[in-house]
Amino acid sequence: MLRYVAGRLSWVLVILLAVCVFTYVIFFQLSPDPAVMICGKTCTPERIDTIRTSLGLDRPFLQQLGDFLRGIVAGRDYGSGANLVHCPAPCLGYSFQSGQSVWEMVLERLPVSVTVAVGAAVLWLLGGVTIGLLSGVKEGTWWDRSTMALALGGSSIPPYVLALALQYLLVVKWQVLPFPAAIPFGDDPVAWFQSYLMPWIVLAIGYACLYARMTRANVIDTLAENFMRTARAKGLGPVLILRRHALRPALTPIVTIFGMDFAGLLGGALITETVFGLNGVGKMASDAIAKNDQPVIMAVTLLAAFFVVIGNVVVDLLYTALDPRVRTTAS
Amino acid sequence: MATTTLHEAQPSLPSPPTGAAPPGGTARRVLRELRRDIGAVLSTAFLVLIVLMALFAPLIGTLAGHGPDTFDSAAVDKDLGGLPKGSLGGISGDHWLGVEPQNGRDILVRIAYGARISMLIAVSATLLTTVIGVVLGLLAGFYGRWVDQVISRLMDFLMAFPALIFMIAVLSALPAGNRPVLLVIVLSVFGWPYLARVVRGQTLTLTGREFVEAARASGAGSRALIFAEILPNLRSTIIVMTTLAVPGYIGTEAGLSFLGVGVTPPTASWGQMIANSVSWYQVDPMYFVIPGAFLFGTVLALTVVGDRLRHALDAGEAS
Amino acid sequence: MTESPAHRAGPDESADLLEVEGLTVTFPTTRGPVDVVRDNTFTLRNNETLGIVGESGSGKSMTALAVMGLLPRGARTSGSIRFRGTELLGRPDAELRRLRGNAMSMVFQDPLSSLNPYYTVGLQIAEVYRCHRGGSRRAARRMAIDALGRVGIPDPAERVDRYPHQFSGGQRQRIMIAMALICEPALLIADEPTTALDVTVQSQILELLAELKRQTGTGMLFITHDLAVIATIAQRVLVMRDGEQLEYADTERVFSAPRHPYTRMLLESIPRIDDELAAPGVVSPTARPARPTDPAPAQEEVR
């Protein structure tokens, strides 16, 4: 078991390193010179050189990459002498736009993204899985057919179209909700809830529809299993059969997919945050992309990859806990 | 959210049909089954309409009397900040689906041109993905060992990548160049592992099956095995996964264009139209409703067709 | 065939264990309704083993499922199934449920897929007992350990907490049998219980079933496609094909003088081990099917 976990963790490091290198190469080599960007319009060649030196851009590529990686692990210093700036670990550099520490920016915005992700996840799990369970058990009924038709439709709506439609109807036309804004929970819980409600719904609908269809398919597969026939042959009641014998096999695969989807969202719901103007990591990413703020783009890419890879490992471990067949082969 | 709804939708949706080769006559049976399904028929009809619109976009422009970039100041009201004249976003005999606010460009014509670029990108990306996915999946599944190791690790890596953020970042960093081609490449690079993973798995099972072993024992070479024994058995899987990949790519392309890193003006695209409509949605909702409806309809129709196709193929294999 | 008097209600000690009369099972298909079992009539006496033989699709399993009330949704039944004198057809599922796993139980063909992979075998055995007899979790667990020991699972107190995939194929079928017998049913239906198993394990399981039957006096309906197996275990045989009953008689008679050409064909396909003892085309009912010496159950490796 320990060896297994160690193996998984080293795999995480390899993937993250690969993401790092890949992203670094693409951004720092292909896009316009960062020194020129920082310097702005009124700029002298000398100033560009100074910036280059202080950022370490005059050094060979591999060394730059090494500095960057070391910065994440151990922190690094920019410039020298009186201009020396120490960037403590994990150092992701400073925004070309605001000069703020990228790590601090991430920390500032992560709570918004987490709030968006958690709220949406609760909604889509409750909605999607419940509908899927009912439809699977009642396969072929009008309930099954109508919910599955809706689910097919719901998963086809582009989130930004849904966002605009909801915003138009709920905020502009019927005025049942205020314009979304990231209001801290402590300030006004009701306003907080109202402001996040639309982003949650928009984000949740696509997933809910997908999960409803997956859950239904799993339930139908499980009900066709031989052990379900055994359960009936044992004389167990229908409720016990569903609760004990069908639920766990049908939902275990959902848990793994949920882990991946949720991890993917922690890195920022880019479109939803942008459309609703929520100041999360996703919005930060799209702003940074618009202004070519490379350190921020790097950081967001890495962060998202980090969550996905960690999610992967957590899901694997979870799976060994949920499925006895995996448990014994892993240990 | 989009990052994942757009992208994760691809791996989770198609649970590919498993099993043996569809016997001859499958095509006819599947067609017959699809013809009986009202959803599939309506979806196909809608898709035919969209494809015709895309193919004959210039003709639609000529018939309507507006190019995709013809400004029509007579159709908008300068005093109201450029809102379309008339109700419902300026729908009239002259502009069947209304006009854009401010510049008065004809929405129908722009939708037709948008369908063109959308279809072009999605279909090209699907073709490219299919080629890469099938080839690499086959190689990994058939040869195993280090070939499999290399390809599988590459797939793991690409699937762990935060694809949407990265696509956006790359597209914004790369020089403008030929946007549609860039989009096709970027979409394919991150799209192929989802097909390859399935192809690899099925190839692995097939390689162990008796008929492949028999063919191998009777002296068939690798090429003959792959093309005569394995590939035909992957046909229905590939058909279904490809059909379901197209709506995914249409959605992702529109999403990228919506975020301003996809198709760039002056080329018309649905995502871009919706992005432009964001600042107008309160006063001119039709501006986002129409491209939104077309985008939704196209994605839905393709998903329905793919879904029914899978059912029809699955049912054939079950019997 | 013995004709027994009709019983209207209540378990009747004098009645035969199971009386099936004119049983017809119909499935709706796209091409109209299809009878998978047509007008099947037979009787199983107390303590007796009746073998039902036929190819797949002959309706033998559907007959068994009809008795258990486990036919797939959409199936229609007509005729009569009386269990200890009580009519079962048309009774609500809630009533049948009280019988299933309790007074009548069933062992299926593929033990791995018939056990839920997510729960320990102990739980899966104990839940039958608790469902029908109640009692504490701990008592049921003790019963499960006992039952595992009775079917020859070594070290039952420890193995009770293992999962199905941790047992060998033969052991899994032993577990299924333990589960079926824990409430001491009057009727045990075994549907191809040895088909999915290795030949050596097959005979062990047959022996176990015969031994447990001797101990408990359970009546058994033994379904198989293999006439050779029937010879070793059943007193009477019912041969089915395409949903129809072809032959129904004492095992000895069927083996010595088969009436239906199909039965003769089945008999001829049995590999004969001692042509000296048996006339051509006939296997003595006392002759065991070919099998090597039984290894002790304990030698079955835990996977």
Q: Report how far residue C161's alpha carbon sits from residue A260's, in angstroms, rounded to the nearest whole number.
A: 32
Question: Length of chain A, please?
Answer: 331
Q: Do chains A and C touch (3 or more CB pairs under 8 A)?
A: yes
**Checking DSSP bridges between strand A85-87 and strand C104-107, what pairing results, if any?**
unpaired
Specify whether A224 is located in the same domain as A288. yes
Full 3-state SS string of B236-262: HHHHHHHHHHHHHHHHHHHHHHHCCCC
Weakest-pLDDT range from A29-38, A102-111, B284-293, C168-177: A29-38
Whether chain A has a CB inside 8 Å of the CB on C173: the answer is no
Residue A198 sits in a domain whose CATH number is: 1.10.3720.10
Specify whether A221 is located in the same domain as A151. yes
**Residue C52 in 3-state DSSP?**
strand
CB atoms within 10 A of CB C103: 18
Q: pLDDT above 90 covers what percent of chain A?
A: 14
B203 and B138 Cβ atoms separated by less than 8 Å? yes
Whether chain C has a CB inside 8 Å of the CB on A252: the answer is yes
Q: Give pLDDT tens digits for A122-171.
A: 999 999 999 999 999 988 889 998 999 899 888 888 888 888 888 888 88
Mean pLDDT of A11-29: 79
Instruction: Give CA separation, C295 vs B248, C52, C298, in Å.
Output: 58, 28, 8
Q: Which CATH architecture has domain B3-70+105-318?
A: Orthogonal Bundle (1.10)
- B307 to A152: CB separation less than 8 angstroms, yes or no: yes
Whether chain A has a CB inside 8 Å of the CB on B295: the answer is yes
- C131 to A229: CB separation less than 8 angstroms, yes or no: no
Query: Could you tell me the sign of the dihedral formed by the alpha carbons of B179, B181, B186, B191, in that order?
Result: positive
- Chain A residues with CB under 8 Å of C68 CB are 233
- B255 to A160: CB separation less than 8 angstroms, yes or no: yes
Weakest-pLDDT range from B101-110, B196-205, C64-73, C240-249: B101-110
Whether chain A has a CB inside 8 Å of the CB on C133: the answer is no
Query: What is the DSSP-derived secondary structure letter of residue A179?
Result: P
- Shortest distance between the Cα of A46 and any Cα of chain B, in A, equals 26
First to last CA, chain B: 39
Mean pLDDT of C37-58: 88
A161 and B288 Cβ atoms separated by less than 8 Å? yes
- Chain A residues with CB under 8 Å of B15 CB are 217
- A328 to C70: CB separation less than 8 angstroms, yes or no: no
A172 and A159 Cβ atoms separated by less than 8 Å? no
Tokens (6 digits) for B317: 């294999």
Q: Report how far residue A245's alpha carbon sits from residue A224's, in angstroms, rounded to the nearest whole number.
A: 12
- B1 to A289: CB separation less than 8 angstroms, yes or no: no
Residue of B nearest to A218 (CA): B15
- Chain A residues with CB under 8 Å of B174 CB are 30-31
Q: Do chains B and C touch (3 or more CB pairs under 8 A)?
A: no
- B169 to A27: CB separation less than 8 angstroms, yes or no: yes
Residue A99 lies in a domain: no
Query: What is the DSSP-derived secondary structure letter of residue C237?
Result: E
Give the neighbours of chain B: at least 3 Cβ pairs within 8 Å: A
C250 and C238 Cβ atoms separated by less than 8 Å? no
Specify whether A61 is located in the same domain as A113. no
Residue of B nearest to A267 (CA): B162
- Chain C residues with CB under 8 Å of A231 CB are 116
The residue assigned the tokens 């002498």 is A81
Whether chain A has a CB inside 8 Å of the CB on B258: the answer is yes
Instruction: Give CA separation, C245 vs B192, C38, C65, C260, C262, in Å.
Output: 57, 8, 16, 10, 11
Residue A118 has a pLDDT of 93
Whether chain A has a CB inside 8 Å of the CB on C102: the answer is yes
Helix, strand, coil percentages for chain C (3-state, nearest 5): 35, 25, 40
Q: Give pLDDT tens digits for C172-193.
A: 988 998 898 888 888 999 998 8
**Checking DSSP bridges between strand C49-53 and strand C219-224, what pairing results, if any?**
parallel
- Chain A residues with CB under 8 Å of C100 CB are 232-235
Q: Which long-range contacts (CB under 8 A, 24 or more apart) does A245-248 make?
A: A245/C116, A246/A219, A246/A222, A247/A133, A248/A322, A248/C118
| Pairwise pLDDT comparison (A297 vs B296), residue with the higher score | B296
Whether chain C has a CB inside 8 Å of the CB on A243: the answer is no
The domain tally of chain A equals: 2
Task: Give kind and range of the element (H or E) at residue C244.
Answer: strand C244-250
What residues of chain B, 56 to 95, have a C-beta less than 8 Å from chain A?
none
Which pLDDT band, with edges at 50, 70 and 90, does C303 fall under?
very low
Gyration radius of chain C's alpha carbons: 19
Query: What is the DSSP-derived secondary structure letter of residue A101?
Result: B
Residue of C nearest to A225 (CA): C113
Q: Report how far residue A27's alpha carbon sits from residue A90's, in angstroms, rounded to the nearest whole number.
A: 20
Residue C11 has a pLDDT of 56
State the average pLDDT for chain A. Answer: 83
Domain range for A320 is 104-330
- C128 to A235: CB separation less than 8 angstroms, yes or no: yes
Whether chain A has a CB inside 8 Å of the CB on B168: the answer is yes
Residue C300 lies in a domain: no
Specify whether A242 is located in the same domain as A324. yes
- Residues β-bridged to residue C25: C37, C77
Specify whether A131 is located in the same domain as A263. yes
Domain range for C69 is 17-112+186-277
- B4 to A309: CB separation less than 8 angstroms, yes or no: no
CB atoms within 10 A of CB C256: 15
- Shortest distance between the Cα of C11 and any Cα of chain A, in A, equals 19
Q: Give pLDDT tens digits for C194-237.
A: 887 888 888 888 888 888 888 888 889 999 888 888 888 888 98
What is the mean pLDDT of each successive set of 10 residues along chain B, which is 319 residues long? 34 40 65 83 91 85 74 70 70 70 78 88 93 91 86 84 77 74 88 89 81 78 80 85 88 86 80 83 82 91 88 70
* Spatial CA neighbour of C213 closest among C236, C239, C238, C190: C190
- B157 to A152: CB separation less than 8 angstroms, yes or no: no
Specify whether A74 is located in the same domain as A111. no
Give the neighbours of chain C: at least 3 Cβ pairs within 8 Å: A
- B295 to A158: CB separation less than 8 angstroms, yes or no: yes
- A285 to B4: CB separation less than 8 angstroms, yes or no: no
Best of C71, C116, C179 to mutate (most A CBs within 10 Å, chain A): C116
- Chain A residues with CB under 8 Å of C186 CB are none
Q: What is the dihedral of CA A208, A212, A213, A215, to 10 degrees?
A: 130
Whether chain A has a CB inside 8 Å of the CB on B217: the answer is no
- C115 to A227: CB separation less than 8 angstroms, yes or no: yes
Tokens (6 digits) for B1: 């959210």
Q: Report how far residue B55's alpha carbon sits from residue B113's, in angstroms, rounded to the nearest whole number.
A: 9
Whether chain A has a CB inside 8 Å of the CB on C100: the answer is yes
Whether chain C has a CB inside 8 Å of the CB on A56: the answer is no
The domain tally of chain C equals: 1
Whether chain A has a CB inside 8 Å of the CB on C114: the answer is yes
Tokens (6 digits) for C247: 């032959």
Helix, strand, coil percentages for chain A (3-state, nearest 5): 75, 0, 20
Residue A247 lies in a domain: yes
Specify whether A65 is located in the same domain as A115. no
Q: Report how far residue C143's alpha carbon sits from residue C134's, in angstroms, rounded to the nearest whole number.
A: 12
Which member of A156, A172, A270 has the closest CB to residue B282? A172
Whether chain C has a CB inside 8 Å of the CB on A227: the answer is yes
Residue C3 has a pLDDT of 39
Specify whether A73 is located in the same domain as A140. no
Which member of B161, B173, B303 has the closest CB to residue A152? B303
State the average pLDDT for chain C. Answer: 81
Residue B203 has a pLDDT of 86
Global pTM exceeds 0.90: no
Give the neighbours of chain A: at least 3 Cβ pairs within 8 Å: B, C
The residue assigned the tokens 């379901």 is B244
Which member of A172, A271, A304 has the closest CB to residue B162? A304
Residue C165 lies in a domain: no
- A233 to C116: CB separation less than 8 angstroms, yes or no: no
What number is the ipTM of this complex?
A: 0.80
Residue A254 lies in a domain: yes
Whether chain C has a CB inside 8 Å of the CB on A239: the answer is no
Residue A40 has a pLDDT of 65
- A230 to C166: CB separation less than 8 angstroms, yes or no: no
Specify whether A123 is located in the same domain as A50. no
Half-sphere exposure of A197 (CA within 13 A, CB side): 15
